[in-house]
């Protein structure tokens, strides 16, 4: 029963990943022979493997700066998405007003807006001649910062793209908490912050981990938002990969960057797996 999907994953994901890893280690034959014919600054392993490509990429100060920028943007974007998603989902869980229904509808609107359009909208608002600076100038604030083509604009774009998923996941987790538990905590004299801390948060850990990990993996490999709204340097590794592959004709170096992003994503995915295994053990011990 599981053989067909496993075979599809092995052929269309496992095989390309394996050939890419081999290429970064200097194996230029077989499936890598075609791209090796046109690549520049290529490191070839005549016997065994070589890590020269990794040493070159990690020794490049511009690539290291892009790596640090990628990690910094990912951490900030994940923190913002988790906080905003929790705040919106908690408000929707505890309120049944018309304002809550409007907020619920507005929070999922980015799902239906293409990333390219959202990126250009961010520039329209935050560029040097954008709406926010124009509005600030007319009210007498002449020092309003220019956020367009900065890493701050990249963070804004990534938060905009990922908040709807976060709100849906958080809302699903919070709505699964029985009202009886919340009412019991309030009847026992617990304040609203104490109820959230002692009841809602512990029962919503897995959705929180899912939102954080999926957002982190998305940010690590993002291309459209940083390419359209970010600076020329430093930028995220997704943009740097495209430049090394397409502009500099250095596919081996681009695949090394892809391996670095892959390792970071695996680290984030490990947190997700650990949280699910821990939750499963806790559920089995209490059943």
Which CATH number is 232's domain given? Answer: 1.10.3720.10
Q: pLDDT for 252-263, tens place per residue? A: 999 999 999 999
33 lies in the same domain as 67: no
The reply to whether 57 falls in a domain is no
145 lies in the same domain as 262: yes
238 lies in the same domain as 124: yes
| pLDDT for res 287 | 59
258 lies in the same domain as 148: yes
Ranges under pLDDT 50 in the chain: none
Q: Give the integer Cα–Cα distance in Å for 239 and 93.
A: 39
The reply to whether 219 falls in a domain is yes
Q: pLDDT for 122-145, tens place per residue? A: 999 998 888 888 888 888 888 888
169 lies in the same domain as 251: yes
Q: Give the integer Cα–Cα distance in Å for 49 and 155.
A: 38
**Residue in the block written with tokens 């919503």:** 204
Sign of the Cα torsion 207, 210, 214, 216 reads: positive
25 lies in the same domain as 99: no
45 lies in the same domain as 66: no
Structural domain of 187: 62-286
Helix or strand (DSSP H, E) at 167: helix 151-175
Taking a C-beta distance cutoff of 8 angstroms, is the pair 63, 57 a contact? yes
Q: Would you call 38 exposed, middle or buried from its count of C-beta atoms within 10 A (0-12, 13-18, 19+)?
A: exposed
Tokens of 36: 């090796």
35 lies in the same domain as 66: no
32 lies in the same domain as 67: no
78 lies in the same domain as 142: yes
36 lies in the same domain as 68: no
Tokens of 162: 């990922």
Taking a C-beta distance cutoff of 8 angstroms, is the pair 42, 36 a contact? yes
Q: Give the integer Cα–Cα distance in Å for 145 and 162.
A: 24
Tokens of 274: 């650990």
């Amino acid at each position: 029963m599981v053989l067909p999907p496993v075979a599809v994953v092995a052929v269309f994901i496992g095989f390309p990943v394996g050939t890419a890893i081999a290429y970064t280690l200097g194996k230029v034959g077989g499936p890598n022979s075609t791209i090796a014919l046109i690549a520049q600054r290529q490191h070839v392993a005549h016997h065994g493997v070589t890590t020269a490509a990794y040493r070159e990429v990690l020794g490049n100060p511009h690539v290291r700066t892009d790596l640090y920028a990628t990690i910094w943007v990912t951490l900030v974007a994940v923190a913002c998405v988790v906080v905003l998603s929790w705040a919106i989902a908690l408000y929707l869980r505890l309120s049944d007003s018309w304002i809550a229904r409007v907020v619920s509808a507005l929070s999922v609107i980015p799902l239906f807006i293409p990333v390219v359009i959202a990126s250009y909208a961010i520039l329209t608002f935050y560029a040097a001649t954008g709406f926010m600076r124009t509005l600030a100038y007319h009210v007498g604030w002449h020092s309003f910062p220019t956020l367009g083509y900065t890493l701050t604009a990249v963070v804004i774009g990534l938060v905009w793209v990922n908040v709807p998923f976060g709100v849906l996941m958080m809302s699903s987790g919070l709505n699964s908490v029985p009202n009886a538990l919340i009412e019991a905590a309030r009847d026992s004299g617990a304040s609203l912050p104490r109820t959230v801390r002692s009841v809602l948060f512990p029962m919503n850990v897995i959705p929180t981990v899912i939102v954080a990990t999926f957002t982190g993996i998305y940010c690590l490999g993002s291309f459209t938002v940083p390419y359209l709204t970010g600076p020329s340097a430093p930028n995220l590794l997704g943009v740097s990969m495209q430049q090394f592959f397409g502009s500099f004709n250095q596919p081996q170096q681009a695949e090394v960057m892809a391996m670095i992003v892959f390792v970071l994503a695996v680290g984030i995915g490990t947190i997700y797996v650990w949280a699910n295994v821990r939750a499963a053990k806790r559920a089995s011990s209490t059943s």
